[in-house]
Amino acid sequence: MRTLDCFKAYDIRGELGVTLTDDIAYDIGAAFAHCLSARTVVVGGDCRESSGPLKAALSRGLVDMGVDVIDLGMCGTEEIYFATEHLGVDGGIEVTASHNPINYNGMKMVSAGSRPLIPDAEMAAIKEVAEKRSFVMAAQKGAIRPMDIRKAYANKICSFVDPIKLKPLKILVNAGNGAAGPAFDEIAKQLAAAGAPLEFIRMDHEPDGTFPNGIPNPLLVENQPRTSAAVVEHGADFGVAWDGDFDRCFFFDNHGEFIDGYYIVGLLAQQALLAHEGATIIHDPRMIWNTQEIVAELGGVAAQTRTGHSFMKAEMRKQNAVYGGEMSAHHYFRDFMFCDSGMIPLLMVAELISTTGIHLADLISGRKAKFPASGEQNFTISDPTAALKNVETALASEAIEIAYSDGLSMDFGDWRLNLRPSGTEPLVRLNIESRGDPVLVQNRLAHVISLL
């Protein structure tokens, strides 16, 4: 039996022509229909040149299983999440490789209600059926019909802020030539119609699958200077850059400084708790102290779960959490089907700046000083398990707490680390934070890297 290596922990990612082909996409579509007993599925794709053919093959697999396909065309992942719930269909699939290199693509899948697929159950079942091709074609094929739900989607996004509270702000938005531009334009149009006095400076706004300005991955240090310089050049109050399918957004302050997603989680948790007193906030285990302190001070409940959208969404649903945040810039909202959005955070930060009158740099600076962090460091390591064990063995005698819920977490009182294999890429990711001691962060970072 063949093995489909494009199936990852909670998504599909593969190298084009190697681990992901049109034929494999067809089999995934058929397996998805088989395992979920789906009758209607919504599909879409990002602007990569490979996404159209893959989406067409995926749709054929669904249609041959008797599934009716609603095709949103080029769209972002969160538009698929919205449409799946809004249209009451049995599932949704976005063809996207997000921030991966141009020779990759993949899929993000949800079931009815935009519920994430269970990694060890539903995802595993789809993988097995696709590998064995153990599906039986329907006697009657389904049909494909295009649909535009963008206005309804944008209306939902705009509902997360009160336009009356917004003050005149200049915001730079960098779509990275990904799929974000057209969706953002509809959001901006509706905000303007509601009287929001926001001015937007658009950058790399037109979708272009060749990515002439580089892969839309704002986490890459080499990709940040252009956005940073544009924020300063235009005198923007802040800047936002999206990844390719815009389910993540990255912030730059009014000085053009890139803001680690960890601190944005704290800001959005604050916003959520001011609107929902005593609510539960979900966070990932990579860096935690800043979020936990903010939530405690505002009377909320902070709960930790594994990194990855499937785990975050499942825990949010379990605890009915109002907001969930990952330091990787995934932000999840109860009132958005417990799903992640790269557009909602922009509006919430704009509202926070408007209501407080405080620049984004000043909102963040105190938190960075109190809980300085290393930023995520990535390493390609042939044996991640051995690497984690080596670090644990070397540092265990100093630790006051060791946890294994998501990779390796070690708490030393005045600093802590999390070291975990990536769920989507062949990398080991390291994060270190301290209590008010940036020098300690750098010293401990250098030491852990030497152990790796």
- Alpha-carbon separation of residue 357 from 167, 168, 192, 237, 352 (angstroms): 9, 11, 21, 11, 8
In this structure, are residues 240 and 252 in contact, taking their beta carbons and an 8 Å threshold?
Answer: yes
3-state secondary structure of 350: helix
Per DSSP, 421 falls in state: E
d(CA 83, CA 434): 42
- Alpha-carbon separation of residue 233 from 155, 171, 205, 230, 238 (angstroms): 31, 12, 17, 5, 12
d(CA 109, CA 416): 34
d(CA 221, CA 38): 42
d(CA 155, CA 404): 41
DSSP assignment string, 13-25: EEEBTTTB-HHHH
Q: Which residues contact 225 (CB under 8 A, 6 or more apart)?
A: none
d(CA 188, CA 284): 31
At 43, list the tokens: 């599909």
At 379, list the tokens: 């390493």
At 394, list the tokens: 């070397």
Helix, strand, coil percentages in the chain from 3-state DSSP, rounded to 5: 40, 25, 35
Q: CA-based Rg of the chain, rounded to a whole angstrom?
A: 22
Give the residues across from 258 on adjacent strands: 252
Degrees (nearest 5) of the Cα angle 93, 186, 51?
A: 30
d(CA 267, CA 126): 38
Closest by alpha carbon to 202, among 217, 189, 221, 215?
Answer: 189
- Cα atoms found within 13 Å of the Cα of residue 139, Cβ hemisphere only: 0
Strands across the sheet with 401-403, in order? Answer: 377-379, 428-434, 415-421, 408-411, 401-403
3-state secondary structure of 366: helix
d(CA 135, CA 130): 8
**Catalytic residue positions?**
98
Per DSSP, 123 falls in state: I
